[in-house]
Amino acid sequence: MSQSSFIEATLRSFARAFAKALVSERAGSQTGLLQWFDPRVRVIGVSVLVVSGIVCQRLAVVAAVFGLAIAIASGSRLSLSTLATRVWLVVLGFTGVIAVPAIFLTPGRPLLTVPGVFSISEPGLKTATLLVLRSETAATLTATLVLCTPWMHVLKALRSLRLPAEIVTMLAMTHRYIFLLIETANQMFESRQSRAVGTLTGPEKRRMTARTAGVLLSKSVELSHEVYLAMLSRGFDGEVRLLCDFRLKAHDYIGLFGFLSAGAFTVWVGR
Amino acid sequence: MIETPLTFDIGGVSFDYEGIAAIRNLSLQIGKGERIALLGANGSGKSTLLRILDGLYFPKAGFVNFQGEALTPERLQRDGFALTFRREVALVFQNPDVQLFNPTVFDEVAYGPLQLRWEKEELIRRVGEIMAFMGILDLKERSPYRLSGGEKKRVALASVLVLDPDVLLLDEPTVALDPRSQSQIVDLIQQWRGTNKTVVTATHQLEIVEDIADRVLVLEAGTVIAAGTPSEVLSNEQLLVRANLVHSHRHSHGGVVHSHPHRHGHSHDEHAHGPSERP
């Protein structure tokens, strides 16, 4: 697959994925473990588990939190195959790039040595596994939260937890125009394709991609400004207002206690 | 001279985009219940003027008064004034995509009333009414991103009409629409004739002007170069050519090549053959 067609295919997949996320927001209304709780409890609970997974030093404990994250996702009726392809593989790819050198470069007791070629150290392998596992845990929990909670509910929950209105506005804007932006990028590639004759050389493809990225950046600034004006025009003042009110019930308090306890326990045993 | 109470009073307004002038020393009064068309070619300052009227842009020079009160960023930061202003003045953007940012059409139409803190019962009732009025009830659960151009425009209109604003600012409301959707929107604007609604429509589509306006302002390079009734402005061919609203159209009828000023949307029978006609 050529470089430009790879980028185009990626953009199309992104567009489809975002369209799905924006259109459906349906997982949020399905009944499931996480959906059972008030959005504020979901946000607090997931944040607590993410932080506890990150600060945890023991590999076995991080693995247990990862297991818990998978159980929550599964209980919230998320497809594990979707999580595997959209979250786990992507995170593995990105963190793997950072983690792999640590396997070879971290000093310590060698586990496997090919003389003159490489040496895998025990602390290196542990560090790399810990990094990947922490990232996978955080990504799984965050993805579960976002897929099980309509985005506007997440924003309202963040505001009610006193997150500054400016940050919530930024999140709202990002979510709102990212789809448009991807669509614009897609159209730019299609337009270029409709005018292209012959095959581009590698350097030409790179130049074209760089130019497209530059134009897209300018367009994104303009687009975000326009979307913001449209929001202001209809009375947006930084607050997120919804038809539904958030009300904590008995099971929400129980859930909150459960999340906080799990987080505290993880930090304690994972020291 | 405006006889009705003034909705907008603008004096000596100038605005530029990083040094590029968009509005130059523009003065204008808009009376309550007036239907005004802002005519001008692309880049003449129509959209910028609408944004100034909607309190989204603030002039670098001059003043803008809304119902006798200065429209300034400081005033719009005050809760009371902002709520009243946003309730009474609504802008429909040229590109509906920037205006439609909610997950479903229902959420989109309900967004404005929610921001303006309406009571829930009234909000749900009013959203249902306006969706039925605009013929978009069946799109209720659809994502705005997945609609056709005409549907998007109707949803964008519904999302501001739900507020029942006294002042409607419409930026190219019929552009890029199929004839049926165009005529629906023109019909809608016509229905407001004789009501207290002030409607300011920016357009370069001459064929709809007589239907949507009682007064026409022609803009060129950010300033008003002519004003009058639709018939006065539309009959001034020289003015329309100067404002880039008509162009010389060269074509042939049965072997006879001729050229004449051309307006989009008019049939061939309406063309007045110009002096350059030749066999």
Query: Are residues B264 and B188 part of one domain?
Result: no
What pLDDT, on the 0 to 100 scale, is given for residue A259? 94
Q: d(Cα B36, Cα B7) in Å, to the nearest integer?
A: 12
Tokens 């990083």 — which residue? B18
Residue A115 per-residue DSSP state: T
Q: d(Cα A253, Cα B244) in Å, to the nearest integer?
A: 67
Query: Are residues B199 and B87 part of one domain?
Result: yes
**Residue A12 confidence class, pLDDT cut points 50, 70, 90:** low
Query: Are residues B219 and B157 part of one domain?
Result: yes
For B151-178, write each residue's pLDDT tens digit: 888 899 899 989 889 999 999 988 877 7
Query: Are residues B250 and B165 part of one domain?
Result: no
Whether A190 has a pLDDT exceeding 80, the answer reads no
Q: Which residues of A touch B117 (CB under 8 A)?
A: 241
Q: Tell me if A233 and B56 make a contact (CB, 8 A cut-off).
A: yes
DSSP lists the bridge partners of residue B215 as: B36
Mean residue pLDDT across chain A: 82
Q: Which residues of A touch B118 (CB under 8 A)?
A: none
What pLDDT, on the 0 to 100 scale, is given for residue A176? 66
Structural domain count, chain B: 2
Whether residue B207 is contained in a domain is answered as yes
Q: Where exactly are the structural domains of chain A?
A: 1-25+152-240, 28-149+243-271
3-class secondary-structure state, position A121: strand
Backbone angles phi, psi at B44, to 5 degrees: -85, -10
Least confident of A69-78, A134-143, A227-236: A227-236
Distances from the Cα of B26 to the Cα of A125, A142, A211, B224, B234, angstroms: 70, 52, 38, 7, 22
What pLDDT, on the 0 to 100 scale, is given for residue B250? 58
Query: Are residues B184 and B274 part of one domain?
Result: no
Query: Are residues B241 and B254 part of one domain?
Result: no
Whether residue B19 is contained in a domain is answered as yes
Percentage of chain A with pLDDT > 90?
26
User: Between A and B, how many CB-CB pairs are < 8 A?
Assistant: 71
For A89-139, write each residue's pLDDT tens digit: 989 988 888 888 888 888 888 877 777 777 888 888 888 999 999 999 999
Query: Are residues B164 and B62 part of one domain?
Result: yes
* d(CA A34, nearest CA chain B) in Å: 21
For B61-85, write each residue's pLDDT tens digit: 999 999 999 999 988 887 788 888 9
Q: Got the DSSP string for chain B?
A: ---SPEEEEEEEEEEEETTEEEEEEEEEEEETT-EEEEE--TTSSHHHHHHHHTTSS--SEEEEEETTEE--HHHHHSHHHHHHHHHHEEEE-SSHHHH--SSSHHHHHHHHHHHTT--HHHHHHHHHHHHHHTT-GGGTTS-GGGS-HHHHHHHHHHHHHTT--SEEEEESTTTT--HHHHHHHHHHHHHTTTSS-EEEEEE--GGGHHHH-SEEEEEETTEEEEEE-HHHHHT-HHHHHHTTSSEEEEEEETTEEEEEEE-TT--GGGPPP-TT-B-
What pLDDT, on the 0 to 100 scale, is given for residue A24? 46
Q: d(Cα A119, Cα A139) in Å, to the nearest integer?
A: 30
Identify which has the larger pLDDT, A15 or A228.
Answer: A228
Whether residue B51 is contained in a domain is answered as yes
For A193-229, write each residue's pLDDT tens digit: 777 666 777 787 778 778 878 888 887 778 778 888 8
Whether A232 has a pLDDT exceeding 50, the answer reads yes
Of B56, B101, B117, the CB nearest to A232: B56
* d(CA B271, nearest CA chain A) in Å: 36
Mean residue pLDDT across chain B: 84
3-class secondary-structure state, position A247: coil
Nearest CA in chain B to A179: B145
Identify which has the larger pLDDT, A269 or A22.
Answer: A269
Query: Are residues B145 and B116 part of one domain?
Result: yes
What pLDDT, on the 0 to 100 scale, is given for residue A27? 57
**Residue B262 confidence class, pLDDT cut points 50, 70, 90:** low
Interface test with B, best of A159, A173, A181, A233 (most B CBs within 10 A): A233
Percentage of chain A with pLDDT > 70?
85
Query: Are residues B115 and B146 part of one domain?
Result: yes
For B15-45, write each residue's pLDDT tens digit: 999 888 999 999 999 999 999 999 998 889 9
Q: Which residues of B touch A223 (CB under 8 A)?
A: 98
Query: Are B24 and B202 spatial neighbours (Cβ–Cβ below 8 Å)?
Result: no
Q: Got the DSSP string for B79-92?
A: HHHHHHHHHHEEEE
Query: Are A225 and A47 spatial neighbours (Cβ–Cβ below 8 Å)?
Result: no
Q: Which residues of A touch B91 (CB under 8 A)?
A: 233
What pLDDT, on the 0 to 100 scale, is given for residue A174? 74
Q: Which residues of B touch A28 (CB under 8 A)?
A: none
Tokens 């159980």 — which residue? A71
Query: Cβ-count burial of A114 within 10 angstroms (0-12 exposed, 13-18 middle, 19+ buried)?
Result: exposed
What pLDDT, on the 0 to 100 scale, is given for residue B254? 63
Least confident of A56-65, A71-80, A164-173, B103-112: A164-173
Whether B2 has a pLDDT exceeding 80, the answer reads no
Whether residue B100 is contained in a domain is answered as yes
What pLDDT, on the 0 to 100 scale, is given for residue A21? 57
Identify which has the larger pLDDT, A159 or A145.
Answer: A145
Mean pLDDT of A64-77: 93
Token pair, residue B47, equals 């959209």
Query: Are residues B250 and B154 part of one domain?
Result: no
Buried-exposed string B93-125: b where 16+ CB fall within 10 A, e elsewhere:
bbbbbbbbbbbbbbbbbbbbbbbbebeeeebee
Q: Tell me if A179 and B54 make a contact (CB, 8 A cut-off).
A: no
**Residue B268 confidence class, pLDDT cut points 50, 70, 90:** very low
**pTM of the predicted model, to two decimals?**
0.71
Q: d(Cα A252, Cα B1) in Å, to the nearest integer?
A: 64
Put the strands of the sheet holding B167-171 in their side by side order. Answer: B89-92, B167-171, B198-203, B35-39, B215-220, B223-228
Nearest CA in chain A to B122: A243
Element holding A195 (H helix, E strand) = helix A165-195
Whether residue B36 is contained in a domain is answered as yes
**Longest CA–CA separation in chain B, Å:** 70
**Residue B104 confidence class, pLDDT cut points 50, 70, 90:** confident
Query: Are residues B276 and B149 part of one domain?
Result: no
Query: Are residues B259 and B185 part of one domain?
Result: no
Whether A41 has a pLDDT exceeding 50, the answer reads yes
Whether residue B1 is contained in a domain is answered as no
Whether A147 has a pLDDT exceeding 80, the answer reads yes
What pLDDT, on the 0 to 100 scale, is given for residue B15? 95
Element holding A193 (H helix, E strand) = helix A165-195
Give the domain range for residue B265.
Answer: 246-279
ipTM of the shown complex:
0.79
Whether A29 has a pLDDT exceeding 60, the answer reads no
Tokens 């953007």 — which residue? B93
Q: Tell me if A235 and B120 make a contact (CB, 8 A cut-off).
A: no
What pLDDT, on the 0 to 100 scale, is given for residue B263? 59
Q: Tell me if B115 and A235 make a contact (CB, 8 A cut-off).
A: yes
Element holding A120 (H helix, E strand) = strand A118-121
What pLDDT, on the 0 to 100 scale, is given for residue B260? 60
Query: Are B256 and B78 spatial neighbours (Cβ–Cβ below 8 Å)?
Result: no
What pLDDT, on the 0 to 100 scale, is given for residue A25? 52
